[in-house]
Amino acid sequence: MLALDLARLEAGLLLIEVDYTSARHSLVPEQSYSPYEIGLGHLVELDKPGPFVGRRALMAEVAGGGPARRLAGLELDWLDLEALSAARGLAPSAPATVSRVPVPVYAGGRQVGRVTSSGWSPLLKKLVALASVGVAQARTGTVLQVEWTVEARRGTIRGRVVDLPFFDPPRRRA
């Protein structure tokens, strides 16, 4: 299961109740996600004949310019993690499993989103994370700050927005 969780992260696949909250369990507006926010907008057919639940809300979202936040992939800076660890007199260590603990993401000193899943990819030799961030921060190449804890002390490390999936080997698709 731990290997599957890592493969899921590398493939940029979402896990319900981790990377987004289902409408059934959403309690506050920040927990409500639309398909456009989580990269599944290509599955929505607004011109579909007949009514469906959520059509008006999705049409209003599209008419308003799209969602206010997006799912983004982040490559986290290993050198920043080394510096945080060295400040505590420790060697840096890569997490052995995927973390599903929400972590704040900052831009310009203010919180603009949160990391939902993060971990070390032994295949890519990088720290990677999925994050829900504001649309302005979701552009490829944008550098954000991600909260990181070393020995119970919080700091930040840089995260650069990259295209998802992190790993997509050539293969046949149905």
CB 133 within 8 A of CB 159: no
Q: How many Å apart are CA 140 and CA 129, to the nearest integer? A: 14
Task: Check pLDDT > 60 for residue 106.
Answer: yes
Give the CATH number, domain containing residue 7.
3.30.1360.120
* Domain annotation covers residue 58: no
pLDDT at 32: 85
- Token representation of residue 106: 């900052």
Position 88 in a domain = yes
Q: Which two tokens mark 129?
A: 């994370």
Domain that holds residue 87: 1-33+68-174
- Mean per-residue pLDDT over the chain, rounded: 92
pLDDT band at 130 (very low <50, low <70, confident <90, very high): very high
Tell me which residue of 162, 151, 86 sits closest to 127, measured CA to CA: 162
Q: What is the domain count for the chain? A: 1
pLDDT band at 88 (very low <50, low <70, confident <90, very high): very high
* Cα→Cα distances 21→16, 28, 30, 89, Å: 6, 10, 9, 38
Domain presence at residue 46: no
> In the prediction, which pLDDT does 174 show?
56
Query: Distance of alpha carbon 77 from its chain centroid, rounded?
Result: 15
Whether 123 is covered by a domain: the verdict is yes
Nearest 5°: the CA angle 91, 82, 148 is 105
Residue 149 counted as domain residue:
yes
- Residue 17 gets the label, from left (phi > 0), alpha (psi -120 to 50) or beta, of left
**Percent of the chain with pLDDT strictly greater than 70:** 98
- pLDDT value of position 173: 61
Gyration radius of the chain over CA positions:
17
Predicted confidence band of residue 168 (pLDDT cuts 50, 70, 90): confident
Mean pLDDT, residues 133-154:
95
Asked if the structure places residue 54 within a domain, the reply is no
- pLDDT of 23 reads 78
| Euclidean distance between the first and the last CA atom of the chain, given in angstroms as a whole number | 25
Whether 28 is covered by a domain: the verdict is yes
Where residue 135 falls among pLDDT bands split at 50, 70, 90?
Answer: very high
| Residue at 2 is within a domain | yes
95-105 pLDDT, tens digit each: 889 999 999 99
Model-level pTM?
Answer: 0.89
